Amino acid sequence: MRKQVVIAGGGTGGHLYPGIALARALMRHDMDIEISFVGTQKGIEAKVLPREGFALKTILSAGLLGKKKIARWVSWFKLPIGTAQSMCFLIRKRPGLVVGVGGYASGPLVLSAWILRIPILIHEQNSIPGMTNKWLGKIADKIAVSFKESSGAFPKEKVEVTGNMIREEFCQPKEESPKKIEGPFRVLVLGGSQGAHSINMAMVEALDSLSDKKGDLHITHQTGEADYEKVSKKYEESKFSCDIRPFIDDMADQYKQASLVICRAGATTLAEVTACGKMSVLVPFPHAAHNHQEKNARILEAANAGELVLDEELSGPRIAGSILQAMEEPERLEEMEENSYKLGNRDATEKVRLLCMELLEDTYRKSGRKKMQGNYVLSCF
């Protein structure tokens, strides 16, 4: 019988891609493991998981934080429906382990797993735990956290500091990484899987201030769908060497080629940046729950591994200044890259995998004993 693992979460790439990293690591080390994902139809998982070759069960679920009036009541209405859907799915699938990686679907599925007495591991990616994970931590068997700063929000005996899970292609040791490509200074601009309007507009505005360096720069920019047409037109008019896309699929390659990364400060983005040892200009999303992105970014700033720019301070000249300083001060850039690399947790996915295997093997060991006891009882009749 194949070992079944269900991973719940998604909504954004920051929640989904750690789950994919874990799924691939589990399957790579044990071919008898079968992975299923649970998410929502509106989340990024509905597009990404079929392409990645994973099965997805969609349920009704929505966030409660920040919702008002009718929207909040709708979210409450979806919760019992999503829980019932999760219960039916788990009863049919009979997994040996449920893993919650954040996102709207984690709550109903993990709650259902607890009711059915299925072992649970949750993974908290941010330095400030979300409301859902704080609550789920009370019923989870194991809790993996990315930042030691978040450990205090959970029962001490359950917590393991692992770092944030990232895909294997980001985890290449520095001595094995290819040397930087000769040629222009390469800037990678990201705003998360859906893009970031303020970063998009600031970069477009920055092009005028960078015009004197046009021949020395190449910009790769993930805009998101909403701003793609507008931003790509501005780059085309500016005549910069560039690669403008609504979504970047070959992210690991783009990180490796980058000289500087301009991005939001979600936990998964920071895990990827530090695993690759890149200097970053971090623009935290100002409306993130509990302002966790700014707190994430300040950890890198304190280690002199990244430069923090608050969203309200963001402008074309400000971003252009950061790019020009990185180009003109290679010693500072190299120092910040070294500091960034030291912060990287390239073994985080393996640490979480081992926690999962511990829970999974215990489940099937107990299941085997019960089966043997049942067969013994039957043999007595």
Q: pLDDT tier at 72 (50, 70, 90 boundaries)?
A: low
- Which is more confidently placed, 88 or 149? 88
Rounded average pLDDT over 39-48: 87
Q: pLDDT tier at 128 (50, 70, 90 boundaries)?
A: confident
Question: 257 near 186, Cβ under 8 Å?
Answer: yes
- Please tell me whether the overall predicted TM-score, pTM, comes out greater than 0.85 for this model: no
pLDDT at res. 4: 94
pLDDT in tens, 205-219: 999 999 999 999 999
CATH homologous superfamily for the domain 3-168+347-379: Glycogen Phosphorylase B; (3.40.50.2000)
- Which is more confidently placed, 62 or 126? 126
pLDDT at res. 375: 45
pLDDT in tens, 305-360: 999 999 999 999 999 999 999 999 999 999 999 999 999 999 999 999 999 999 99
Lowest-confidence range among 19-33, 319-333, 361-375? 361-375
State whether CATH 3.40.50.1980 applies to domain 172-343: no
Whole-angstrom distance, CA of residue 344 vs CA of residue 298:
15
- Indicate the domain borders of the chain: 3-168+347-379, 172-343
Task: Tell me if 3-168+347-379 shares its fold with 172-343.
Answer: yes
pLDDT at res. 249: 87
pLDDT at res. 43: 82
Residue type, 359: L
Strand intervals (E) in the chain: 3-8, 33-39, 55-58, 97-100, 120-124, 142-145, 159-161, 185-189, 217-222, 241-245, 260-263, 280-282, 306-308
Tokens of 115: 């009711």
Whole-angstrom distance, CA of residue 337 vs CA of residue 334:
5
Q: For strand 33-39 and strand 55-58, is the pairing parallel, antiparallel, or unpaired?
A: parallel
Lowest-confidence range among 173-177, 275-279, 313-317? 173-177
pLDDT at res. 92: 95
Q: Does 62 have pLDDT greater than 80?
A: no
Q: Does 376 have pLDDT greater than 80?
A: no
pLDDT in tens, 80-124: 888 899 999 999 999 999 999 987 788 899 999 999 999 999 999
Q: Does 170 have pLDDT greater than 50?
A: yes
Q: Does 373 have pLDDT greater than 60?
A: no
Q: What is the DSSP letter of 174?
A: G
CB atoms within 10 A of CB 287: 9
Q: pLDDT tier at 63 (50, 70, 90 boundaries)?
A: low
Q: What is the DSSP letter of 31?
A: T
pLDDT at res. 381: 32
Residue type, 76: W
